[in-house]
Amino acid sequence: MKSKGVNIKSLTKIYSGNNNEFKAVDNISVDIKAGEFVTLLGPSGCGKTTTLRMVAGFEVPTSGDIYLGGDVINDLTPDKRDTSMVFQSYALFPHYNIYDNIAYGLKLKKMDKGTIKDKVNSIIELVGLTGMENRYPNQLSGGQQQRVALARALVMEPGVLLFDEPLSNLDAKLRVYMRTEIRKIQKKVGITAIYVTHDQSEAMSLSDRIIIMNKGIIEQVGTPKEIYYTPRTEFVADFIGTANFIMGKILEVKNDKATIEIEGQKIEVNYNGTKKAGEECKVVLRPEAVTIARDGIIDVDVLLSTFMGSYQDYIVKTKNAEIKIEDNNPQGREVFKEGDKVKIAFSPLNVHII
């Protein structure tokens, strides 16, 4: 299976009607390397599905170009593009058994029966459906149907595999299992994958890189770690995980470091932005990065204390802000209750200036 890179250049999609124009995708550019697993992530209406559909050929760009393996594919119909799509609804043929569902695209290509049999059996084994070849879609669980849809796309040996929210119809436990399976198969085959979801944990667990979209534009592209620990904007920080936003003031900027004041404390943090000494800033502090105890650096009042199993969930109030804390594995430590006056602390490594 020969994977191909995807290059999106100044891509725009405008929908017109009733004297109104809606810019679903607004002049985005991104390069996806061959063999990479990239996820388009964002809320409903952010442009991620429209972008995927333009790559697949189901939507025509208003302007801009899409390159697949170095060739512009804007004018190619979906069947002429070296891509395969795994749909949200699976889109299996109910009157075909599993073998024939998977073999359908190969038969359209008029391959000989022997080649088809070899390819289909190989893919059936890869996705873990051996022994189910003669069953029909209505005899399969949701997870098994999803495997058939994946096998049908993979058997075509496309340069790029496209996923349109493929796990949204599955229950929570099966979603976690299937995303692990999809990633395992993608790595084994080495295929380029572009995956659309609004589920942040899905994006974090699957992706080499994540493209965060909002209102038709790209807010940030990066690895899951980069997106989580060094978000470029408040939107990204808020969309990925849970974030505390605290106002501060920059006192000094020097050699990729900034000395800032937050909640009356001076701390030095990593910084390569454009703000200067004297300017106000907003910092991100993740809930799991804050410790709560009798000793610490900032006085707080406990507003809420909730046992969540693997962690104790707190909301505390400082002089100027409310801060959410996830105190992981609290068993054996003092658990504070509403009304307690305690202290919090955190490492400067966990403070990020937006």
CATH of the domain at 267: 2.40.50.140
My answer on whether 189 and 141 are in the same domain is yes
Q: Which of 184, 201, 236 is the last residue of a domain?
A: 236
Both 202 and 312 in one domain: the answer is no
pLDDT in tens, 41-67: 999 999 999 999 999 999 999 999 999
Residue 144 included in any domain: yes
Least confident interval from 57-66, 152-161, 299-308: 152-161
How many domains, the chain? 2
Q: For tokens 């994540």, what's the residue?
A: 210
Q: What is the pLDDT of residues 69-78, one digit of tens each?
A: 999 999 999 9
The CATH number assigned to the domain holding 99 equals 3.40.50.300
Q: Is residue 69 part of a domain?
A: yes
Give tens-digit pLDDT for 220-230. Answer: 999 999 999 99
Q: Given a cut of 70, is residue 140 above it in pLDDT? A: yes
Domain stop point among 206, 236, 266: 236
In tens, the pLDDT along 85-133 reads: 988 887 889 999 999 999 998 888 888 899 999 989 988 988 888 998 8
- Looking at the predicted structure, is the pLDDT value of residue 216 above 80? yes
Task: Answer whether residue 109 is part of any domain.
Answer: yes
Is the confidence at residue 342, as pLDDT, over 90? yes
> Residues 6 or more apart from 107 whose CB is under 8 A from it?
116
Q: To 10 degrees, what angle do helices 113-126 and 98-108 make?
A: 130
Residues 183 and 228 in one domain: yes
Q: Which pLDDT band holds residue 1 (cuts at 50, 70, 90)?
A: low
Domain boundary at 236, 257, 289, which?
Answer: 236
232 shares a domain with 324: no
Q: Does a structural domain hold residue 1? A: no
Alpha-carbon gap, residue 303 to 322, rounded angstroms: 9
Closest CA to 318 of 238, 245, 259: 245
Split at pLDDT 50, 70, 90, the class of 204 is very high
Domain presence at residue 124:
yes
% residues pLDDT > 70 (the chain):
100
Q: Which domain holds residue 344?
A: 242-353
For 105-173, give the DSSP string.
HHHHTT--HHHHHHHHHHHHHHTT-TT-TT--GGGS-HHHHHHHHHHHHHTT--SEEEEESTTTTS-HH
User: Who's near 278: CB < 8 A, 6+ residues apart?
Assistant: 249, 250
- Give the per-residue pLDDT at 105: 87
Greatest CA span in the chain, whole angstroms?
76
Q: How many CB atoms lie within 10 A of CB 96?
A: 15
pLDDT digits (tens, 9 = 90+) for 3-15: 899 999 999 999 9
| Residue 196 belongs to a domain | yes
Backbone angles phi, psi at 135, to 5 degrees: -80, 160
For residues 50 and 199, membership in a common domain is answered with yes
Average confidence score pLDDT of the chain: 92
Single-letter amino acid code for the residue at 76? L
**pLDDT over 90 (residue 215):** yes
261 and 227 in one domain? no
Give the per-residue pLDDT at 247.
93
Confidence of residue 168 (pLDDT cuts 50, 70, 90): confident
Based on the domain organization, do 24 and 173 belong to the same domain?
yes
Whole-number Å distance between alpha carbons of 130 and 137:
15
Q: Is residue 138 a part of any domain in this protein?
A: yes
> Are residue 192 and residue 250 in the same domain, yes or no?
no
| pTM, rounded to two decimals | 0.89
Same domain, 64 and 19: yes
Q: Establish if 348 belongs to a structural domain.
A: yes
